[in-house]
Amino acid sequence: MQPSYLRPTYIEVDQQAIYHNVHEEKRRLNAETALFAVVKADAYGHGLIPVARVCQEAGATGFCVATIDEALALRAAQIAAPILVLGITSAQAAPVAAAQNISLTVGDQDWLDDASNFLSEVTDCPQLKIHFATDTGMGRIGFTDVVALHTTAIFVEESKYFTLEGIFTHFATADEKDTIYFEQQVAKFKLMLAALPKRPRYVHVANSATSLWHEACQCNMIRFGVAIYGLNPSGHALAAPYDLQPALSLFSELIFVKQIHAGDSVSYGATYTAQNDEWIGTIPIGYADGWLRRMSGMTVLIKGQRCPIVGRVCMDQIMVRLPEKFAVGEKVTLIGRDEADEITLQEVADYADTIHYEIVCDLHDRIPRHYLPRRED
């Protein structure tokens, strides 16, 4: 989608906050544990390349992405650190990954058989680094059978096309107070790990939630994700062990202000009707930007005052009820601080009955990202 630079709606990304969040987590790790920054989905909507560079400055030693295209974008930006693609990649892309020193996730023997055929067609192709995914209870991807995992590990040892660089699992409930299911997954992963003929370079189970609240499996790598961006992966359930600083704010401004009268309606479906004379302001953001229709009724901040969205969210605009006549051009805060008040991503997520991950990932690239510079140490 074409970024709208001449429209007054924009996202502000605080690079100092990102640096702080990564640096504080890095300080908690022992010297042998690597921190791979999870920058998939355009760094959770914060911007892939700028975030990756700040993470490296803060001590990240590698990166995790969801697709090989994201990994190739990092390589194109001259980022040489290790990269792991967490999702299953087409076996046809194996030669490209090998040539670019990109590690791929493997969840079964069939994928290796297919990839071997593609790798064999390339002269002097380097070995492809792979990580075994194990499904210990997430139900998503990975080996579920210990015997099959052992057999595949032997295959990889004997193959000239692959290097087993890592093994991992993903926890389904690491962000919850009840640890019973988490502990069951830990036990299953230990069985999987023991099935390998030898321990690979990276053994990793820790996403943000696990790294913040658990020590599991004596692993030597963490996949640090949503906490990079200052967001608590548990929502309200658990307190973070250190101050997570939110990195993203969302701003716009009033582009039109008018008075309506009792009985006048606003927006599609005429779902909002004024009971009295009211001042209505229009703001240039809508569901095409990721500010979805379920945000109707949510408040924004203008001059430090809460102003509710009235009527349905439109594709490109929303309307808010003002406490008085405000000037066109007045700044609007949808996420962030304005005077003594603040709207957090968690508050927006609570209102929308979802998680803050979804809110930030929904903010489309039509909204330009502005980056606040990091302070020098």
Q: Are 162 and 127 in contact (CB under 8 A)?
A: yes
* DSSP secondary structure code for residue 134 in this structure: B
Angstrom distance (rounded) from CA 304 to CA 56: 36
Q: Which residues touch 54 (CB under 8 Å, ≥6 apart)?
A: 15, 18, 19, 22, 374
40 is catalytic: yes
Catalytic residue among 258, 268, 325, 331: 268
Whether 272 is catalytic is: no
Q: Tokens 């599991």: give the residue.
A: 216
Spatial neighbors of 338 by CB under 8 A, at least 6 apart, are 301, 302, 303, 304, 331
Ramachandran sector of residue 134 (left: φ over 0; alpha: ψ -120 to 50; beta: rest): beta
Query: What residue has token string 């929308």?
Result: 352
Question: 356-367: buried (b, 16+ CB within 10 Å) or exposed (e) per residue?
Answer: bbebbeebbbbb
SS3 category, 365: coil
Residue 180, classed as helix, strand or coil, is helix
- Name the active-site residue from 40, 44, 129, 287: 40
**Active-site residue list:** 40, 268
